[in-house]
Every structure is written in C-alpha cells, then in structure tokens.
Structure 1
Amino acid sequence: MRHHIELEALCDDAERNHRCFYPTSNALQQATYVRLRNGYLVRPHRNVYSRASYWATLNPAERSRHIIRTLSRQFPTHVFSGLSAAAILQLEYSWHLHDDGSIFIASSTGSPKRAYRGIRRIGMTDPPVSSVIHFRRGDGIRAKAVPGPLTMNPRQTPSSQATLFGIACSDITDIIRITSPARTLVDCGLRYTFAQSLPMFDSALRNHLTTPQQVMDICDGMRTECGSIMRLLHYADPLSENGGESLCRAVVIEEGFAVPQLQHVFTDADASWTRYRVDFVWHTEDGRIIVLEFDGTAKYTDPSMTRHSNVHNVVRAERDREDALRRAGVTTIIRTNYEEVTLRTPLVRKLLDARVPMTGMNTRYERATDITGREL
C-alpha cells in the first residue's frame, strides 16, 4: 500500500484534535476505501473514519466524543442530546451505555426524516441549547460549556486576534451544539435506570453545570411524567466524588438501605492532626458507626493515586487507615468494588451482615440534601 501524504495529514490532524476525519474529495474517498478494506482504517459511523491503531486506544465514551466532534463539523447546526450531550459534557456514567454505538440528536417532534441507523432522534420543540467550545491549551484539548447556539465554519480559519468567551479563536478546535445540561439530565433520566442516571446527576451538580431548579423547570415545561427525575433530584448529591461511588450509592438506595452520609471526616485519636475521609458512613440509633469504602482499581494501579507506591505499600497504608478509623470510633468497615456493586448480591450480603439500617424500618434515614450536600 502506497503512502498517501494527504490522507495521512488528515489522520494526523484529526488525532491531534481528538476527532475522526471524513474525506473531502473523490481522491481522498478512494484512498480511504482502499485502506478501510485492508484494515488500516476503521469506519465507526457513516462517513466517519479513523486509523484502526488509534481507535483501539480510545475508551467507549471517548470514541463517542470523537464521532460527535466529527459530525458537528459536517452538520454544524445539529444539536446533540441525551447520552451524546452527556458525553460531551463529560458527565459520569457507565461506558456500557455506549454499547450500541448510537448518537443522539434533538429533533422536532414528528419529524418525517428517516435517520441513519446509528442516529437516534429525541423529539423536542425549541430545545434549550448550549455550546461546548473545545480549544487547545498546551499539549491538550480542553472544553468550556456556554449557553446558546454557536457555530464555527470548519473551513474558516479564525483570526488570531479574535476571542470567544475569553478563548483565542485560533486555539478553538471545535464548537458543538448540545442540549442544555438541565435538559440533558432530564432526557437521560427518562431513558435510563435510576442506578445508571444518578452518576450523571451527581457529576452535573458537582461541576456546577446546572441546578436542581433548572432541571425542575425543564420538567415543568414537558408533557411527560417526570417522577423518575424528581426521585433522582431527591437523591442527587454533589459530594459524590466519582461515578463509581454514585453507582454504589444508587444500589444501596434501590436495595432498601438507609441513605448514607457522604465524605465524612474522622480524626485519628492518637494523632489529632491526621484526618481520614470516608466514602459512606451510617451512625445507627444503637451507637454503631458503619463505614463503607468503594475501592476502584485505580486506587492500586494509578500512579497519581498511589503516589508511585507499589501495591504492597498501598495495602499497608489501607490497613493503617482502618486502624485509625477504629480508634476514631468506627465499629464496622465494609469494603466493596465495582464488580460487587454491579452484581448487587455480594454488596447486599455485606450490608446485611453489618446490620446497616434499612429505610423500611428507620424512615428517618430518608434524607434530602441541597446542592452543597447539606441536609435540608
């Protein structure tokens, strides 16, 4: 296979800007087809291509973002919605939601247009639109969400002197139209289960992308029963630090256990200057203090979290942490992980063995919090 300079340059530019590419001439199209047949390129969506070696390095959420960035350049006025908007906003959720490879766009109710099989339309009239500006900073690409529809002509080279929301136009790589964060949460909350949606709500509130009131305003303007959204707002908590913790809490709630307090800080009785923050805690009526810790694999493998220590040192530090928590009055420490949470039964068994209160027996444990995480 001969080296195609123009096609290689197109691939390089796409990868540098975190998107795929599409051929813009007949010659490029023919060269693309040849390389698609021999496996050098992949076609994850209609008229969207990438080097197979590069594509293999991307996780499902990032693959979706690459496709959306590419489509937004082909169709600048498209408004991406649902899970696609959540992906662009980088909300927390399970990557399994991308298994079918669908891209979601907002569409007028009753649109007669037939969609390509990889496109799913969410019907809405005059959707609230936000724009996400992707721009270059140093060696990376960053994003900024702003209200209102913006469009950048992909063939237009912006002036280096112009700025947009404090960003030099010469640094902008893409502008993508999406439904507002509040509308995005509503669409996802109506489509997915409580456990799948709660991480999105937690992360949106944590990152100050929207407020509960804005979400309720969207519900008030819809002709759809939004009871599931009200339930999500009731339990959403910005103190949840990541999607794994949010999923764990959702399972705890769905299985009927009391709503735990998040990110509680304990002081070591032998070293008052040392404090430990736990993921979940219950203070029971009989004086027990139960702690639940959600362990992600990154806790043992990510150098930024392990401070470049080996697994043995990390485990020893965890043992010291548990000893300090017991000195601080904790009576029971439960550890769980993503696999146990998704299977549910192993986690439920641990919670039952620890005699974690259940809401059916202790209704006072049903608590609501405001956006700061404080009890109402």
Structure 2
Amino acid sequence: MRRRVRAGELVTPYRALYARAGYWGGLNGTERVLHVIRALAVRYPQWTFGGSSAAAVWELEHPWSLHDDGVVYIVGDGGSAMHTHARLRRSFVPTEDMRKVTVRNGVRVASVARTLVDCGLRHRFVDVLPMFDSALRRRLVTVDEVVAICDRTQADCGHVLRLLHYASPLSENGGESLCRATIIEEGFKAPQLQHEFVDPGDARIRHRADFVWHTSDGRIVVLEFDGQGKYVDPTMTQGKSVRSVVSEEREREAVLRRAGVTQIIRTDFKEVAARLPLTAKLVDAGVPLAGGMLLWNEVPSGRWA
C-alpha cells in the first residue's frame, strides 16, 4: 500500500486508511472527513466524534476549510485512556454529556449542543455562526440546551454566548450566514433577516430580502447575497434560462423600490471572503455601524445610526 501511495495511485488521509487518488481528488473537505469518520467508526466503534467532525456528521453548515488539516475530533469523559497523534484530538467532557451521545448513520456522535459549544470555543466566529444558524433552522437544538452545556463547561463560554446572541433560524444557507458574520465582524449593525416587502400596487406580490437595514434618516438599505447556483443550479432556477432569471431579478428589484427600499446592493462569496469589497459597498450605502457610531458619509443631522 505504501508503494502505491508513493506511485500516486492511492492517498492516505489518515493513518492506515487509503483511498484511490482520483476518487479522493473529486471530494470536498466535508465529504473527505466523513469518509475518514465512517472508516474509523467501523474500526473503533467505541469512539464518539465531536467538534467539527461531529458538525460534519450532523450536516451542520460550515466551511470545508475547517477540515483542511485532516484532524479528527473525538470526545470522552476520561474513563478510558488512549493515545493521540497529529491527526487525532480528544476532548474530555462531563459524564452527563456522554449520556446524550447519539448514533447517526452508524457513527457515535456528540449531541448538537455539545458540538456547537466545542466548535464555538475552538473556531472563528465566521466559521461557526453558520453551524448555529443551521442547527436552529433545522430545530436540532434549542438555545437553552446550548446554555446548559456552557453551564457545565469550565472554559470561558463568552464566544459561544456571542454566537447565540447573533444566531438566527431565518438564515437560509451557509453563504448567507457567512456573509452576516463578516458584516458583524467588520463592525456594522446586524441586519434584519428575510424582511418581506409588499408591492403597494398589488398586495399579492411579496418579496423577501436577505438583509435589511433601516437607517436613522429614514432610508431602507437592502443587501442581497448571490450564490453561484442562483443562475446555474437547475434545482434553484427551476429549469429557467439565465436570461429569464436575470429578468425576474430586475422585476423583483422594481417591487422592492416601489415598497420603499432606497438602495439595493449585491455581494457574493468572493467579495465576502475578500472583505474589503463588501465593506466598501456597505460604507458607500450608509449602512449603520454597531455601537451608535455615525458613518462618515451620512449627512450630519444630530441623529445617530
């Protein structure tokens, strides 16, 4: 097997685990870690997976990059000793948490609440807010359950509580969650999610906007996050052509403006990842900053954003 790895026929993503190089190259980060987890679950059926490994098993929204290091996370209550190595991390959790272990798709996995707390303590805000949003959206966990885990955790859970403060089941996908987390980290006021606008000329026509801000000077700013699949994924376009989808978007924007929207700005994953292009658009649109600060391009009126 080592000879075939050296020849490039196989890859070894984890100790004593092998996969065909061509097949492995076609998988994304989450798919790869799930292959490793399922194989390890067969070899070590007593293991309980936690952290970002459990997030993958629970299918919580998160960036694939969390698995780039190939590390697998397991949890235990300290009752049994085991050696760890470069690609294995073990966390010790209260015995009560181990009693809530669930078997999902043949894999022993920590509860969703325990998974969210562990990820919130270990990873960045922008990487974990999508997990919290998707867990709440799918009703896999409640806020009280996450707080209860924090109460049993010796570590400072301030980061987790901040995630709970901003988490929302209204976020429709991981891309929107990532965008919102970036907006918050850049110091802007958290937007209102999925606000519905009604066409004043026909109450039957209603459209929801991804992100909405109502400014102190009476303006309404809308930000739309455009995923690539919006124009090319048949499941999202319902078989419509790109031209038809673009035409519908223009009509939708016209409805929003008739409903009182002052400015509509758009962004995508590339701009969110780069941050500066998104930030520049928000500043130019006069989106209010958090903490009652006045934006430089707002007309002084004695009112705070």
Query: Which TM-score applies when normalising by structure 1?
Result: 0.73
Counterpart of 1:28 in structure 2 is: none
Counterpart of 2:17 in structure 1 is: 48
Kindly indicate whether residue 169 of structure 2 is the aligned counterpart of residue 238 of structure 1.
yes
How many Å separate the matches in 1 of 2:205 and 2:18?
52
How many Å separate the matches in 2 of 1:239 and 1:313?
27
Counterpart of 1:346 in structure 2 is: 277
8 A contact 1:107–1:121 mirrored in 2:
yes
How many Å separate the matches in 2 of 1:336 and 1:78?
42
8 A contact 2:94–2:152 mirrored in 1:
no
How many Å separate the matches in 1 of 2:71 and 2:127?
17
1:195 to 113, 117, 126: 126
Counterpart of 1:67 in structure 2 is: 36
Counterpart of 2:220 in structure 1 is: 289
CA RMSD after TM alignment: 2.0
**The structure with more radius of gyration:** 1
Kindly indicate whether residue 266 of structure 2 is the aligned counterpart of residue 335 of structure 1.
yes
Deviation of the 1:209 alpha carbon: 1.0
Counterpart of 1:178 in structure 2 is: 109
8 A contact 1:88–1:132 mirrored in 2:
no
Q: Residue 66 of structure 2 aligns to a residue in which SS?
A: helix
Moved more, 184-193 or 245-254: 245-254
How many Å separate the matches in 2 of 1:121 and 1:256?
35
How many Å separate the matches in 2 of 1:204 and 1:323?
34
8 A contact 2:101–2:111 mirrored in 1:
yes
Counterpart of 1:4 in structure 2 is: none
Structure 2: state its 5+ residue gaps: 295-305
Deviation of the 1:309 alpha carbon: 2.6
Counterpart of 1:358 in structure 2 is: 289
Q: Kindly tell me: are residues 320 and 132 of structure 1, through their superposed partners in 2, closer, same or farther at Cα, counting changes over 3 Å?
A: farther
Kindly indicate whether residue 10 of structure 2 is the aligned counterpart of residue 79 of structure 1.
no
Kindly indicate whether residue 62 of structure 2 is the aligned counterpart of residue 131 of structure 1.
no
How many Å separate the matches in 2 of 1:67 and 1:332?
47
> What amino acid is aligned across from residue 77 of structure 1 in structure 2?
Q
8 A contact 1:292–1:336 mirrored in 2:
yes
1:1-376 matches, cutoff 5 A: 32=1, 35-108=4-77, 113-126=82-95, 127-128=97-98, 129-134=100-105, 175-361=106-292
Deviation of the 1:353 alpha carbon: 0.8
How many Å separate the matches in 2 of 1:362 and 1:196?
27
8 A contact 1:86–1:184 mirrored in 2:
yes
How many Å separate the matches in 2 of 1:221 and 1:43?
38
8 A contact 1:110–1:123 mirrored in 2:
no
Deviation of the 1:328 alpha carbon: 1.3
Deviation of the 1:187 alpha carbon: 0.4
8 A contact 1:130–1:177 mirrored in 2:
yes
Give the percent of matched residue pairs that are identical in Structure 1 and Structure 2. 53
8 A contact 1:258–1:362 mirrored in 2:
no
Q: Residue 154 of structure 2 aligns to a residue in which SS?
A: coil
Q: Residue 347 of structure 1 aligns to a residue in which SS?
A: helix
Q: Kindly tell me: are residues 34 and 219 of structure 1, through their superposed partners in 2, closer, same or farther at Cα, counting changes over 3 Å?
A: same
Deviation of the 1:45 alpha carbon: 1.2
How many Å separate the matches in 2 of 1:177 and 1:112?
18
What is the aligned length? 292
Deviation of the 1:269 alpha carbon: 3.0
Higher strand residue share? 1
Q: Residue 205 of structure 2 aligns to a residue in which SS?
A: strand
How many Å separate the matches in 2 of 1:349 and 1:78?
47
Deviation of the 1:77 alpha carbon: 0.7
> What amino acid is aligned across from residue 104 of structure 2 in structure 1?
I
Counterpart of 2:297 in structure 1 is: none
How many Å separate the matches in 2 of 1:270 and 1:321?
13
